[in-house]
Each structure stands twice: as C-alpha cells, then as structure tokens.
Structure 1
Amino acid sequence: MADPQGFDFQLDDGQTPLGPDEARGLKLSWVATRGDLNDAEGANIFTAMRWAAREIRKKRVVVSSEDFLRQLHARMFGEVWEWAGRFRLTERNIGVAPHQIAMQLRQLFDNVGAWQEFGAYLLDEQAARLHHQLTYIHPFPNGNGRCSRVMADLFLQSHGAQPFTWGPAPHDQRVRQRYLELVRQADTGDLEPLLRFVRS
C-alpha cells in the first residue's frame, strides 16, 4: 500500500488495504515502514487492553455492544489513525456494505444476548462466533481482525473465562496462515475447526 507520505506498507495475507483518504489518516510522522507501524499500533493496542481489563473488572462496560466495540477500536488505534473507532465508508473485497454495518452489528449483539439468555452455545463457541461475525462484518477501515480477537478475549474474561490462545505458540506466519484458512472455512458455516484452533 503506497501512502501519501511516500512510503510503502507491504500487506500480509488477510490485511485490508486502505483507501487514499484512510491512508492520509496516519497521525505519526515518524512512521516510515511496516515495522514502524506495527510498533506504534502494538503499543497502542497494549494500552487499550489494559484499559479494557480495568473497565471489565469495575463492571463499567458491556463488552457485547456497539458502544464498547467503537471505544475499543478507538483505544486500540486512536494514537495512530484519525479514523479509529469510526465505521468504514467504502466498499471492501470482504465485509458487508458500509450502509449495513450498524444494522448487522445490532443484530449480532442481539444474537449474543440471546445466546447467553437461552444457553444456545457454550461460552467458547459464543466468543468464537462473536469474533467470526465481527471479522465478517468488517466494520472499520482496518484493524478488524485484531479488534475482533481482542473482543472475543474480553468477552470471555468478562464471564470469568480464560482468553483464547489463538493457535499454538509461537504465533509465526504458518500459524497466522492456518488461522486465516479457518476463518474462511467458518465463512462457509463450518466453525468447528476454528473452535479447536483457538484453544490449541
């Protein structure tokens, strides 16, 4: 992805390219490489996870809600990108149409409430389904995979459960590739392999 500042970010498989307006939303003038961007985003994400854990401990948030999703994304990426926490306005090769994002999220979070009320799925499956549907909806310009994984882990923690491992350690390119394959398999309705993977 070429950025208006004149540097190139090489995308990994599964990463969503940014449009020109979104790329211009980079707040940090010192970011010149994909490594710089990863470092900046990583530090921001770490801070966001500490905030979220504190809010959950104090029972100040409802994790399975649009409001929390927006706040979380803003805190995960807000020091790096101006559009953090805002839904995308452009079409992608994955995800629902932009005008459907808010409606699809309302439906998802209503479903999560029903799963909990009626015990439709075990907690791990609820978290995996939450993660998968968030990646499918793809609400933000970028950071959807990372945000959806954090949402799933925080959902588990808010119910007193351990977060997922997201595959066997170390989380190298081979593990990432397998994760992406299983997310795509879940798109076809087969969630079982992803469920096994997230606890492997």
Structure 2
Amino acid sequence: MTAEARGVVGDTPDKIDVYDLEQAAQRVVTDTLIRSVLDGDLHVEDLATDHFLRELHADLYGDIWQWAGRLRRREATIGIDPNLIAVELRAGLDTLVWRWTNTTDWTAHEFGIAVHAETVRIHPFVDGNGRTTRLLADLVFLAVQDDEYPPATYDWNVDKAEYVRLLQQFDRDRDPAALARFVRTVSVVD
C-alpha cells in the first residue's frame, strides 16, 4: 500500500476501507475517461492497447497500491504464463482492433466484450483485473458506437457463475457472441 493510502486508512486498514478507496478512485477515473470518449478525445485505437491498459490500471490503483500499472510477474491460478503477458496482450488487442477495423461480423457490443474477455483471459495484473478490464470494455464499447443510439456501457451486474462460465467458453472458442448476449447494456445519458 502507498504511504498516501496509509495516511487515509491507517496502518491496519479493514478490507472495507481499502474497497472504499478503490471505489472512489474508480468513480473519478471512470467519469473522466467516459467524458473523454464522448467528447471524441479518445478513440478505439487509443484505448485498445497494452499501453493504455497499463495506464488505466495505474490510474485506478496508483494512489493506493505500489504495484499499480505493473504487469504480473508470478504465476497465478488464472491467466497465462507471466513471461507471455506483454506479448499476448499487445498481439491480442492489436488483433481485435484489426478485426474490428477490417471485418463486419461483430457488433460494437460484441467487440467491447471481446476486448474484455481477451484481457481477462490474459489476466495481466496481480489484482484489479476485473475492474480494469470491465472499464476498458465500457470505454471501447462507447468509442465504437454509432450516433444512432444513446451512448451505453455494459451492465456488469450479472450472475457471476454464468459470467465465469461464458468467459471460459470465450477462452476456448474466442467467440464473444454468447457473453455479449448475456451482458446487457445501460445508457450513460441521464
């Protein structure tokens, strides 16, 4: 934990104190980045990159955790070999953007979900992968939506067991369709 975070929650923080700090940081980062996408300052080519993902993780957790923005260097029960993370992350995101740009078989909804599922599959960070990859998916989805509908993000309030099952299915077939049907959307316009 960073010295600044310890100054807020003390030397022996409760999990709820840390959670509250993380939630507060997430609200600020989310609001700022959604506004940047809606204003046209951030495009899919800016967002769906390994560099942006590391920056996003650092923005979400940098004031709290010293490991923020750093790729995982140890084996975990989920994700790929840590020695392959940097290469797989760049190649995976580049491939998804290429496919989005050069084919027409995915909807914007499916593309954002594919970006999420691919980054979850890799599991690049020690912690905070879920929040980071869900926010990345929301931003990518917003960036590729056309003007025909009100801007929307994903509704991540889903049945966790089914969500995990569908992520595992994506790991096997790299098809985001089932997961995209499962994860609905919510308008960002009040």
Structures share a fold, TM > 0.5? Answer: yes
Equivalent of residue 131 in structure 2, options 146, 150, 160: 146
C-alpha distance in structure 2 between counterparts of 1:66 and 1:51, whole Å: 20
Equivalent of residue 170 in structure 2, options 165, 183, 186: 186
Deviation of the 1:54 alpha carbon: 3.6
Give the SS at the match of 1:145. Answer: helix
1:5-154 to 2 correspondences below 5 Å: 25-27=1-3, 28-29=5-6, 30=9, 32-56=13-37, 57-60=39-42, 62-119=46-103, 120-154=105-139
Higher helix share: 2
Q: Which stretch has the larger CA shift, 181-190 or 157-166?
A: 181-190
- Contact persistence 1:131–1:151 (CA under 8 A): yes
Q: Which residue of 2 aligns with 1:10?
A: none
Q: Which residue of 1 aligns with 2:184?
A: 199
C-alpha distance in structure 1 between counterparts of 2:42 and 2:163, whole Å: 32
Identity of aligned residues (%): 31
Give the SS at the match of 1:163. Answer: strand
C-alpha distance in structure 2 between counterparts of 1:26 and 1:146, whole Å: 19
Amino acid of the residue matched to residue 25 of structure 2?
A: N
Give the SS at the match of 1:82. Answer: coil
C-alpha distance in structure 2 between counterparts of 1:183 and 1:58, whole Å: 30
Deviation of the 1:130 alpha carbon: 0.7
**Pairwise CA RMSD of aligned residues?**
2.1
Q: 1:158 to 1:191 in 2, by over 3 A?
A: closer
Instruction: Provide Cα deviations, 1:7-41, integer angstroms capped at 9, x if missing partner.
Output: xxxxxxxxxxxxxxxxxx45422262221121111
Q: Which residue of 2 aligns with 1:165?
A: 155
Unpaired runs of at least 5, structure 1: 1-24, 169-174
Unpaired runs of at least 5, structure 2: 146-150, 186-190
C-alpha distance in structure 1 between counterparts of 2:109 and 2:35, whole Å: 22
Deviation of the 1:51 alpha carbon: 2.6
Normalised TM-score (structure 2)? 0.80
- Contact persistence 1:52–1:72 (CA under 8 A): no
Give the SS at the match of 1:177. Answer: helix
Amino acid of the residue matched to residue 162 of structure 1?
A: A
Instruction: Identify the structure with bigger relative contact order (alpha carbons < 8 Å, sequence gap 6+).
Output: 2
C-alpha distance in structure 1 between counterparts of 2:22 and 2:112, whole Å: 24
**How many aligned residue pairs are there?**
170
Normalised TM-score (structure 1)? 0.76
Give the SS at the match of 1:92. Answer: coil
Q: 1:34 to 1:180 in 2, by over 3 A?
A: farther
